[in-house]
Amino acid sequence: MSDKPAKSASSSSSKDASIRYVNLYEADDKIYIRRITGFYQRLRRYTGIPLMLGFLLMPWLVIDGRPAMLFDLPERKFHVLWLTFWPQDAMYLAWLLVISAFLLFTVTVLVGRVWCGFTCPQTVWTQMFIWAEFVCEGDRNKRIKLDAQPWNFEKIWRKSAKQAIWIAISLVTSLTFIGYFTPIRELIVGFFTIDLGLATAFWVFFFLIATYMNAGFMREQFCKYICPYARFQAVMYDKDTLTVSYNPLRGEKRGPRKSGDDYKAQGMGDCIDCSWCVQVCPVDIDIRDGLQAECIDCGLCVDACNSVMDKMGYERGLISFTTEDAIHNGKTKVFRPRLLGYGLMLSIMMGLFVYSIATRVPVGVEAQRDRGVQMYRVAGDRIINVYTLKISNMDRQTHVYDVTIEGPHKFGIDGYRPIPVVEGEVLVVPVRVEVKKADLKKKKTEIRIRARARDNAEITAFHETTFIGP
Amino acid sequence: MSTFWSLWIIVLTVTNLVLLLWILFANRKRAVVGDENTEAKTTGHEYDGIEEYDNPLPRWWFFMFVLTFVFTVFYLAAYPGLGSWKGFLGWTSVGELRSHQKEAETLYADTYGAYAQMPIEELAKNTDAMKMGFRLFSNNCAICHGADGGGNPGFPNLTDHDWLYGGTPEKILETITHGRVAAMPAWVGVVGEEGIVQLAEYVLKLSGSEHDDVKAEAGAKLFSANCVVCHGADGKGNETVGAPNLTDDIWLYGGDPATIRQTIRDGRAGVMPAQGELLKQDRIHLLAAYVYSLSMNDSE
């Protein structure tokens, strides 16, 4: 067994090298990805480009006179499309994350790690960086040669051009990302006139570096060693999960052959061992070794193998998106309990989420009773309690709120005159709640202080509190 | 901290640091020797046929440890942390607090500064200023006077028009800044229990409440002998000493016969704490305007 890195060992030796010694202390070899075209690569383009455009354009959109997507941290208000969320709405965010996780699980059960290969930002950005690499330095062989040759004018300008494109992409990314947290128009103007706050400048720079490092150098290392999804996706797989697989029944025994030979007579399979599937792999694995944790289901090896099969005049699909059952038993089940379970959970949660968002009431009421030397006040035949009332207008327009008291007796209110509360404001005002001494039965009575928008009775909320008497 | 404990901490800290350094370097040496053949070196632990390599710490990890040591030494030299050593940067938590306070002051100077120039009468009509005033009141005054300024037994109602020391903006400002100390002496030693009952009936009569005419008659004499100095011949009170007007039906401690008798018998000592020591002048200015506005609201 060699103590060289596994990749060089496993790709050259045959598949019986079932145990690999991975030396974690050695630097990984640089991966030179061969460029390939094909169905899945077009598919990746069509999933990646809309996502990129969405990411780039979203902060520029304006809805109701404010950015469509703005996470206003200093104000602690989160403007998302037509809604504005307050910190007390954090439950929605939590549920959104749970739903996203379940969506990911469901998709994983059905089609494996297509999220990783097609839509994950790490992959999409890496793809752009690889594109820049290809444009500036050429394909795999040219790049290997370029790296091997001594520094000369050509190497310098090709490398600088690549770095320039990388940094440009990183800068656009970082400015756009920060644009989700601070109004993007001011941000862009501020950036180009060197007039950013220290904190903003730091974060722009931080995400520039982060993008550059991640997509430029970390690449598949992120998927292998850092990404938590890669750690647990395997437990969601079953025999009927679509995933990129090599068909060993058809491919083995692999090996080079002369064209025109009757390779089947020699006991050979369809795999000609050209290693293209390894050369195109962005995580540098050999799919012929079977299902691996590193595989991100991007389909590059499928396209590579198909193009080789076409050249050889063999049938396509030696490597393909298929299921374990389909390879070994020839048939596969789509609807299975696991998938149905996930699907059911997902639809229930999504339904409840949409319902709760749709019925969210954009007003918050809080009341705190005075806790002074004496908790109540006596005025003639009446008992008075004083409350500090807080009305949060979480709507996107000004409302005037009427305050009423709900309780077992006839409670009156004194000291609250309806005042317009502008959008996003929290009105703090004292209110005097009074009741006839004779009516009050107990020392402590449960009451509700309710605020209702004058122009829309549905915008209402209450706070439960107690009324103290003698 | 006594010298002994200071030394104790210094010795403990330094010994621990040295020990940790020794552990780090001692282990590194042993591992480096076997570096050539990592596979052969195992710790001897085995579980289900899985053996544990005895590999050296990765170099970057090792240097992270060294860096933390360098940082520790710098930190303990620069900041207080080693016994009673003050640190060469001269940092103290009190100094930190002071600088934050100064920062906050400059931050709030803009907010309060503009209002500090406005006369109180005008400020009382400014909605934004009064919102700030309400917050100040909630934080500093509401615990005694109530969130609405309506008062409590022993703590005056600020929303009516009855003022013990005067309700002009200047007087309110003075009351908040310097506080007030009110003293109603105990009269039981002077007039006796019988006199207290008679005085109470007279005070009830002054305010137009139910009373015993005969006892009030006797009480009137006691009143003119003992009480007029502060409360005046007509019982209308005196703002210079904060003596309450007894002819209205507003009571600081309660207007029922028992409470009035208690007030006369044992006296009362009311204290409004001076805020000048606690709050900045610009905040007191805003507070005075808010308190002034409370009685204005009522008259509307």
A23, A370, A431: residue with CB nearest B142:
A370
The residue-averaged pLDDT of A318-333 equals 88
Please report the pLDDT score of residue A19 as a whole number.
Answer: 54
Residue type, A340: L
Per-chain mean pLDDT for chain B: 87
Please report the pLDDT score of residue B175 as a whole number.
Answer: 93
Q: Contacts by A284-287 with C-beta closer than 8 Å and gap 24+?
A: A284/A7, A284/A28, A284/A29, A284/A31, A284/A220, A285/A7, A286/A10, A286/A11, A287/A244, A287/A245, A287/A246, A287/A319
Q: Are residues A323 and A350 both part of a single domain?
A: yes
Are A386 and B154 in contact (CB < 8 Å)?
no
CA dist A170 and A177 (Å) reads 10
User: Does position B86 have pLDDT exceeding 70, yes or no?
Assistant: yes
Chain B: residue whose CA lies nearest to A389: B147
Hey, how many other C-beta atoms are within 10 angstroms of the C-beta on B191? 20
Distance from CA of B149 to the nearest CA of A (A): 9
Residue type, B168: T
Distance from CA of B146 to the nearest CA of A (A): 6
Q: Are residues A376 and A249 both part of a single domain?
A: no
| Structure token digits, residue B224 | 């003119």
Q: Are residues A169 and A287 both part of a single domain?
A: yes
Asked whether A115 and A107 are in contact (CB, 8 A), the reply is yes
Asked whether B124 and B293 are in contact (CB, 8 A), the reply is yes
CA distances from A349 to A30, A229, A344 (A): 44, 21, 9
DSSP state of A65: T
Please report the pLDDT score of residue B112 as a whole number.
Answer: 85
The residue-averaged pLDDT of B20-25 equals 90
Distance from CA of A251 to the nearest CA of B (A): 34
B38, B138, B144: residue with CB nearest A372:
B144
Q: Are residues A417 and A281 both part of a single domain?
A: no
Chain A: residue whose CA lies nearest to B145: A372
Report pLDDT digits (tens) over B152-170.
888 999 988 889 998 899 9
Hey, how many other C-beta atoms are within 10 angstroms of the C-beta on B108? 13
| Structure token digits, residue A431 | 């209110």
| Structure token digits, residue A96 | 């959104």
Report pLDDT digits (tens) over A127-178.
999 999 999 998 888 999 998 989 999 999 999 999 999 999 999 999 999 9
Chain A: residue whose CA lies nearest to B40: A3
How close are the terminal C-alpha atoms of chain A, in Å? 88
Q: With beta carbons under 8 A apart, name residues in chain A contacting B150.
A: 377, 384, 386, 432
| Structure token digits, residue A368 | 């705190």
CA dist B289 and B149 (Å) reads 13
Distance from CA of A241 to the nearest CA of B (A): 31
Q: Tell me which of A366, A370, A433 to substitute to probe the interface with B (most B C-beta atoms closer than 10 Å).
A: A370
Are B150 and A431 in contact (CB < 8 Å)?
no
**Rg from Cα positions in chain B:** 36
Asked if the structure places residue A412 within a domain, the reply is yes
Confidence of residue A396 (pLDDT cuts 50, 70, 90): confident
Chain B: residue whose CA lies nearest to A367: B147
pTM for the model: 0.72
**Global ipTM:** 0.71
> Percent of chain B having pLDDT more than 70?
94
Q: Are residues A395 and A353 both part of a single domain?
A: no
User: Does position A387 have pLDDT exceeding 90, yes or no?
Assistant: yes
CA dist B288 and B178 (Å) reads 12
Report pLDDT digits (tens) over B117-127.
889 888 888 88
Distance from CA of A271 to the nearest CA of B (A): 35
Asked if the structure places residue A162 within a domain, the reply is yes
Asked whether A322 and A245 are in contact (CB, 8 A), the reply is yes
Of A424, A426, A405, nearest in space to A416 by CA: A405
Chain B: residue whose CA lies nearest to A23: B38
A3, A21, A388: residue with CB nearest B147:
A388
Domain boundary among the residues A325, A360, A395 is at A360
Which residues, 6 or more positions from A29, have their beta carbon under 8 angstroms from its beta carbon? Answer: A5, A7, A8, A284
Confidence of residue B300 (pLDDT cuts 50, 70, 90): very low
Report pLDDT digits (tens) over B134-148.
999 999 999 889 888
Report pLDDT digits (tens) over B24-68.
888 775 544 445 555 556 778 888 888 887 777 788 888 999 999
Q: Which helix (H) or strand (E) segment is A400 a member of?
A: strand A399-406
Q: Are residues A375 and A239 both part of a single domain?
A: no
Asked if the structure places residue A7 within a domain, the reply is no
Asked if the structure places residue A135 within a domain, the reply is yes
Asked whether A422 and A433 are in contact (CB, 8 A), the reply is no
Are B154 and A431 in contact (CB < 8 Å)?
no
Asked whether A395 and A459 are in contact (CB, 8 A), the reply is yes
Report pLDDT digits (tens) over A227-268.
888 888 888 888 889 999 999 988 888 888 877 778 888 888
CA dist B67 and A411 (Å) reads 68
Residue type, B115: Y
Please report the pLDDT score of residue A303 as a whole number.
Answer: 93
Please report the pLDDT score of residue A373 as a whole number.
Answer: 74
B38, B55, B152: residue with CB nearest A373:
B152
Of A409, A363, A411, nearest in space to A389 by CA: A363
Please report the pLDDT score of residue B7 as a whole number.
Answer: 93
CA dist A271 and A247 (Å) reads 9
CA dist B256 and B269 (Å) reads 19
DSSP state of A164: H
Are B150 and A3 in contact (CB < 8 Å)?
no
Q: Contacts by A301-306 with C-beta closer than 8 Å and gap 24+?
A: A301/A244, A301/A276, A301/A277, A302/A38, A302/A39, A302/A40, A302/A244, A303/A36, A303/A37, A303/A38, A303/A39, A303/A40, A303/A41, A304/A34, A304/A36, A304/A38, A304/A276, A304/A277, A304/A279, A304/A280, A305/A276, A305/A277, A306/A38, A306/A39
Chain B: residue whose CA lies nearest to A2: B39
CA dist B131 and B134 (Å) reads 5
Q: With beta carbons under 8 A apart, name residues in chain A contacting B138.
A: 388, 428
Of A301, A204, A199, nearest in space to A246 by CA: A301
CA B141 remoteness from chain centre:
10
Q: With beta carbons under 8 A apart, name residues in chain B contacting A388.
A: 138, 142, 147
Q: Are residues A165 and A260 both part of a single domain?
A: yes
Report chain A residues touching chain B, CB-CB < 8 A. 3, 21, 23, 25, 370-374, 377, 384, 386-388, 415, 428-432
Q: What is the 3-state secondary structure (H, E, C) of chain B?
A: CCHHHHHHHHHHHHHHHHHHHHHHHHHHHHHHHHHHHCCCCEEEEEECCEEEECCCCCHHHHHHHHHHHHHHHHHHHHCCCCCCCCCCCCCCHHHHHHHHHHHHHHHHHHHHHHHHCCCHHHHCCCHHHHHHHHHHHHHHCHHHHCCCCCCECCECCCCCCCCCCCCCHHHHHHHHHHCEEEEECCCHHHHHHHHHHHHHHHHHHHCCCCCCHHHHHHHHHHHHHHCHHHHCCCCCCECCCCECCCCCCCCCCCCCHHHHHHHHHHCEEEEECCCCCCCCHHHHHHHHHHHHHHHHHHHC
Q: Tell me which of A25, A382, A386 to substitute to probe the interface with B (most B C-beta atoms closer than 10 Å).
A: A386
Q: With beta carbons under 8 A apart, name residues in chain B contacting A387.
A: 147
Asked if the structure places residue A270 within a domain, the reply is yes
Q: What is the CATH number of the domain that holds A436?
A: 2.60.40.10
Are B134 and A432 in contact (CB < 8 Å)?
no
Q: Are residues A156 and A248 both part of a single domain?
A: yes
Q: Are residues A352 and A369 both part of a single domain?
A: no
Distance from CA of A378 to the nearest CA of B (A): 9
Q: With beta carbons under 8 A apart, name residues in chain B contacting A415.
A: 148
Residue type, A469: G
CA dist B25 and B105 (Å) reads 51
Are A372 and B38 in contact (CB < 8 Å)?
no
Q: With beta carbons under 8 A apart, name residues in chain A contacting B155.
A: 372-373
Are B155 and A388 in contact (CB < 8 Å)?
no
Domain boundary among the residues A328, A360, A392 is at A360
CA dist B204 and B202 (Å) reads 5
Q: Are residues A267 and A190 both part of a single domain?
A: yes
Domain boundary among the residues A326, A360, A394 is at A360
Are A3 and B38 in contact (CB < 8 Å)?
yes
Count of domains observed in chain A: 2
* Strand-pair category, A426-436 with A412-414: antiparallel
Of A249, A332, A248, A237, nearest in space to A286 by CA: A248
| Structure token digits, residue A49 | 């480009």
Asked if the structure places residue A211 within a domain, the reply is yes
Answer positive or negative: Cα dihedral of B132, B138, B144, B148: positive
Distance from CA of B152 to the nearest CA of A (A): 7
Are A370 and B147 in contact (CB < 8 Å)?
yes
B134, B138, B153: residue with CB nearest A373:
B153
Which residues, 6 or more positions from B167, have their beta carbon under 8 angstroms from its beta carbon? Answer: B161, B292, B295
CA dist B64 and A333 (Å) reads 52
| Structure token digits, residue B225 | 């002998």
Q: Are residues A355 and A464 both part of a single domain?
A: no
Asked if the structure places residue A63 within a domain, the reply is yes
Total beta-carbon pairs less than 8 A apart between chain A and chain B? 51
CA dist B189 and B195 (Å) reads 10
- Partnered with residue B97 across adjacent β-strands are none
> DSSP 3-state assignment of A36?
coil
DSSP state of A376: S
Q: Are residues A460 and A330 both part of a single domain?
A: no
CA dist A272 and A75 (Å) reads 62
Write the burial class of residue B148 (CB in 10 Å: 0-12 exposed, 13-18 middle, 19+ buried).
Answer: buried
Report pLDDT digits (tens) over A66-87.
888 899 888 888 888 888 888 8
CA distances from B282 to A73, B118, B143, B180 (A): 30, 10, 21, 20
Please report the pLDDT score of residue A3 as a whole number.
Answer: 41
A372, A415, A430: residue with CB nearest B143:
A372
Asked if the structure places residue A423 within a domain, the reply is yes
Are A372 and B152 in contact (CB < 8 Å)?
yes
Residue type, A28: D
Domain that holds residue A418: 363-468
Q: Tell me which of A25, A369, A403, A413 to substitute to probe the interface with B (most B C-beta atoms closer than 10 Å).
A: A25
Report chain B residues touching chain A, CB-CB < 8 A. 38-39, 55, 58, 131, 134-135, 138, 142-144, 146-155
